[in-house]
Amino acid sequence: MNLDLPSTQELLRLREPATYGDQDPMASPQPGQSGGGELLEGPRGGALHLSSLLPALTASLGHPVGTAVHRDPKALQEALGLPSASSAIVVLVDGLGYWNLKARLGHAPYLRSLMSQEVNQRPIASCAPTTTVAAMGTFGTGTCPGLTGMTGYTQRNPKTGKLSQLIQFRSALKPLDLQQQPTIFESLAGQEVRVTSSGLPKFADSPLTQAALRGSDYIGEMAPGQRARNAAQAARVPGLTYLYIRDADKNGHAYGWQSDQWIAALESIDSQLATLHRNAPAGCLIVITADHGMISTDPNQRIDIAEEEDLARGVALVGGEPRFTMLYAQPDVEADDIARRWREHLGTRARVMTRQEALELGLYGPVEERIIPMIGDVLVCAAEAVTIVDSRSQSAQATRLPSVHGSLTAAEQDIPCLIDLI
């Protein structure tokens, strides 16, 4: 199964959100589908999901950890095709979507060698929204945003009624007050399994690490190649090692994912991963994934709420991100009224739903009652290359990023799951 790169139009078409659970959607194809085909249509998620990856790896290591969403880690291991191993390294490359990688494989010889293997030619699904905050919580706990409370880049703080930002947790609940699910790292450490993280020193005890990735022994290092070597060295002892690489996302936001700078970042990432491969011990399992993909924005498709009276009316707060906007209604305004006006204004440029519609759709997975007020009253998922911004509260730079993510398209939802057994 060697997948061709779909057209940009196909990659930017809105799809249904991926599902949660232990089922393998490829094992029970829908009418008209083959077991390994039509990856831009039909059911996605379940066992083939970012939330499944760490629970599956615990089964590979012989220390299965179930979660509130995934009860059968062994079934996840089998569906993802992960071999058993005494030591495993999981790498999360921020912003390296499956189709972004596919489009630039010529610049990544190590990753190209992995993608030539059939087991690695099938993307898995990220969560909704497809953004780092939500995805890191989903990945680290093996659950979903509806249980972690990490539902977007910015979201309403139910204690203050104001927007909070969840990268640095500005104006937010404390990390452990917001994200109350046990992490996979914590659960493994509770079984006396070695868990090690290799990353930048500043992330060792960051609020995001506390919320989503707590429980490991952290090795901080500034040099990228040395971070890879540190991960490989840690893997010489049985257990789980985590390596985080941020360069694709950072350069995508700054310059665009099709820029020369992004390509240079991909070449550096590939070099780091090749270093990891060369230094990892025999028998070690390496799995490479991402939190989301990226799309190129179109200035002509930018919608500024500040300039659209019909869109701004009745909206107290604008949260989320440019591709997945959360609207919080003023106290005397009905969400249905806001949703109706936005649907009329945007037409096919976005999918607009009320919070209740999103919950019924399973957009966030199962949702705890305490988390419901954090989610917008109206949610707007952008299609094509549309971005939705608010210049009243967002900086000029933030409203004009050349590449972004967050919505329900293949370009943003499909992520790699690349397996390399040393």
Distance between CA 335 and CA 190 in Å, rounded? 44
Q: What is the DSSP string of 109-162?
A: HHHHHHHTSGGGSS-EE--SS-SHHHHHHHHHHTS-HHHH---SSEEE-TTTSS
Count the Cβ atoms, other than its own, within 10 Å of residue 366: 13
As a whole number, mean pLDDT of residues 166-191 equals 98
Dig out the tokens for 397 from the structure. Answer: 């730079």
Question: For all residues of the chain together, what is the average pLDDT?
Answer: 95
Q: Can you give the CATH number for the domain in which 361 is found?
A: 3.30.1360.180
Looking at the fold, whether 202 and 351 belong to one and the same domain comes out as no
As a whole number, mean pLDDT of residues 383-389 equals 98
As a whole number, mean pLDDT of residues 199-224 equals 98
Residue-wise pLDDT tens digits, 86-132: 999 999 999 999 999 999 999 999 999 999 999 999 999 999 999 99
Distance between CA 233 and CA 284 in Å, rounded? 11
Share of the chain above pLDDT 70, in %: 96
Looking at the fold, whether 201 and 93 belong to one and the same domain comes out as yes
Nearest to 161 by CA among 40, 298, 330: 330
Residue-wise pLDDT tens digits, 321-352: 999 999 999 999 999 999 999 999 999 999 99
Helix or strand or coil: residue 81?
A: coil
Of the CA atoms within 13 Å of residue 102, those in its CB half-sphere come to 23
Residue-wise pLDDT tens digits, 301-315: 999 999 999 999 999
Quote the domain boundaries for residue 303. 299-400
Domain count of the fold of the chain: 2
Distance between CA 167 and CA 164 in Å, rounded? 9
Q: Can you give the CATH number for the domain in which 84 is found?
A: 3.40.720.10
Looking at the fold, whether 291 and 316 belong to one and the same domain comes out as no
Distance between CA 167 and CA 154 in Å, rounded? 9
Nearest to 193 by CA among 147, 242, 148: 242
CA 369 centroid distance within chain:
23
Looking at the fold, whether 304 and 276 belong to one and the same domain comes out as no
Q: What are phi and psi of 316, to 5 degrees?
A: -85, -40
Count the Cβ atoms, other than its own, within 10 Å of residue 400: 15
Looking at the fold, whether 242 and 107 belong to one and the same domain comes out as yes
pTM for the predicted model, two decimal places: 0.96
- Amino acid identity of residue 279, one-letter, is N
Distance between CA 302 and CA 297 in Å, rounded? 8
Q: Is residue 163 part of a domain?
A: no
Q: Is residue 166 part of a domain?
A: no
Q: What are phi and psi of 406, to 5 degrees?
A: 140, -30
Residue-wise pLDDT tens digits, 42-78: 789 999 999 999 999 999 999 999 999 999 999 999 9
Looking at the fold, whether 241 and 383 belong to one and the same domain comes out as no
As a whole number, mean pLDDT of residues 252-275 equals 98
Dig out the tokens for 277 from the structure. Answer: 């491969």
Dig out the tokens for 174 from the structure. Answer: 């404390």
Dig out the tokens for 350 from the structure. Answer: 């976005």
- Amino acid identity of residue 239, one-letter, is G
- Please check whether residue 65 is in contact with residue 58, taking contact to mean a CB–CB distance below 8 angstroms: yes
User: Is the pLDDT reported for residue 376 higher than 70?
Assistant: yes
Looking at the fold, whether 292 and 303 belong to one and the same domain comes out as no
- Could you tell me whether strands 403-404 and 295-296 are parallel, antiparallel, or unpaired per DSSP bridges? antiparallel
Give the pLDDT score at 38. 52
Looking at the fold, whether 93 and 197 belong to one and the same domain comes out as yes
**Preceding amide of 207 cis, omega within 30:** no
- Please check whether residue 12 is in contact with residue 38, taking contact to mean a CB–CB distance below 8 angstroms: no
Residue-wise pLDDT tens digits, 145-177: 999 999 999 999 999 999 999 999 999 999 999
Place of tokens 């806001």: 338
Distance between CA 257 and CA 265 in Å, rounded? 10
Helix (H) or strand (E) holding 55: helix 50-60
Looking at the fold, whether 247 and 196 belong to one and the same domain comes out as yes
